[in-house]
Amino acid sequence: MRHLLCVIGALLCLAALPSWADVDIQELTSPEGQEFWLVEEHSIPIVAVEIGFRGGSRLDPAEKAGLAEFMMALMNEGAGEMDTVAFANRADDVSARLGFSAARDQVSVSGRFLTETLEEGVELLSTALAEPRFDPDPVARVRGQMLSSIAQAATDPGAIASKAWFADAFPDHPYGMPQSGTRDSVLAITVDDLRTARERLLTRANAEIAIVGDVEAGRAGEIVDQLLAGLDEGEPVETEPADDVPPPGLTVIEQNVPQSVAMFGQAGIARDDPDFFPAFVMNHILGGGGLTSRLTEEVREKRGLAYSVYSYLVDLAEAKLLMGGVQTANERIAESLELIRNEWARMAEDGVTESELEAAKTYLTGSFPLQFDTNGKIASYLVFVQIEDLGRDYINERNGFIEAVTREDIARVAERLLDPAELSFVVVGQPVGLEGTPEVEGGAE
């Protein structure tokens, strides 16, 4: 069995399409009427299945925060007549790799199967989706793991900063609650809550599905119907944009650590906005490009203030953000924040140079194929494209959108988005030189 699993692992690593540009996406409908996307690739005997269900932890009741994550963590802990051990043994026997996870706006299910045991693997995943057991022992174990993680996060400066930033930005919205919940909310979750969450989150109406690998269209449609057979139809999840976020300012949370951690952010841009790709390229140059970004150059390379400083676009279903972070010595955090504000302002005022733009385009277009080097990655990306409603041609069009970005486009979007006065900072540590800012006792759950 161990040798077989090693072979499976090797096949999973090799299960790639010949070229990302050759991705032939079939937009199909199953016999039962479920739409899904398929990419046939018969050169390697592997099939990857990805399902994304719109909703996620933002649908958790406020007093039961962490419910979606709790429920998804138990989906491979026994199903049907199989307890945890029997379920795990069956997965090994049929060479199936199953995955379940929760995020703010969706819950995700994945399956990786050998062609020769595809039928048995799909049957196992179908049983997990339709008949999870939620037995007392695994429920207690997973609850304990979540409580342990919550306790650890309560002393981790980065986790404290993230929790506080989102709580400040979304005081009346589910995004303001920690995705993993609090000690009280996790302790309050019952088995009935878990069953109700499964019925609410795993519905056919909110499922986006991609299958990639050694399977033909007719069989793929049967697989889709088999996997969803035990799920309710449900109603499409609605979205309502959150209020303008976040409020500008600075919050300091005192913690006795040698370095301060800062999280910062402001309102961002929607993916369907005409200026999205200029903003995407702009952010790469500003802080998303690792060692080549302006923030890294100014904060790390020129002054040695921090090992890492970065920015990134956040595309939540009900909020669009431009965020970033930095960690540095308490005595130097004030200087780091000032440099970040300066770079925000410089980008808004001066835009980017032609050489910066060309370098960003080269990297962003050249690295894109790496997202298609395994069947699993392709399936996951296709679900992302469906959930974002980008259209089947997006994969082939995406690099063209980036190539079309001009310096004028970036100047326009930078002036539109970037304003250092609108930045919201949360700093955790014992920062020097940030006097006059509000102080909050931190570290509590």
3-state helix, strand, coil in the chain (%, to 5): 50, 20, 30
Which DSSP string corresponds to 383-441?
HHHHHTT--TTHHHHHHHHHHT--HHHHHHHHHHH--GGG-EEEEEE--SS-TTS-EEE
pLDDT of residue 243: 80
Predicted TM-score of the model (pTM): 0.91
pLDDT of residue 44: 93
209 has which bridge partners? 51
The reply to whether 2-8+18-228 and 249-441 are identical in fold is yes
pLDDT of residue 345: 98
Indicate the fold that domain 249-441 takes in CATH: Cytochrome Bc1 Complex; Chain A, domain 1 (3.30.830)
Superfamily (CATH) of domain 2-8+18-228: Metalloenzyme, LuxS/M16 peptidase-like (3.30.830.10)
Convert the pLDDT of each residue in 369-396 to its tens digit.
998 889 999 999 999 999 999 999 999 9
What are the helix (H) ranges across 174-262?
183-188, 191-201, 217-228
- Domain ranges for the chain: 2-8+18-228, 249-441
Convert the pLDDT of each residue in 270-292 to its tens digit.
999 999 999 999 999 999 999 89
Q: Report, as ranges of residue numbers, the positions in the chain whose pLDDT lies below 50.
A: 1-8, 10-19, 436-445
Nearest to 285 by CA among 153, 405, 146, 106: 405
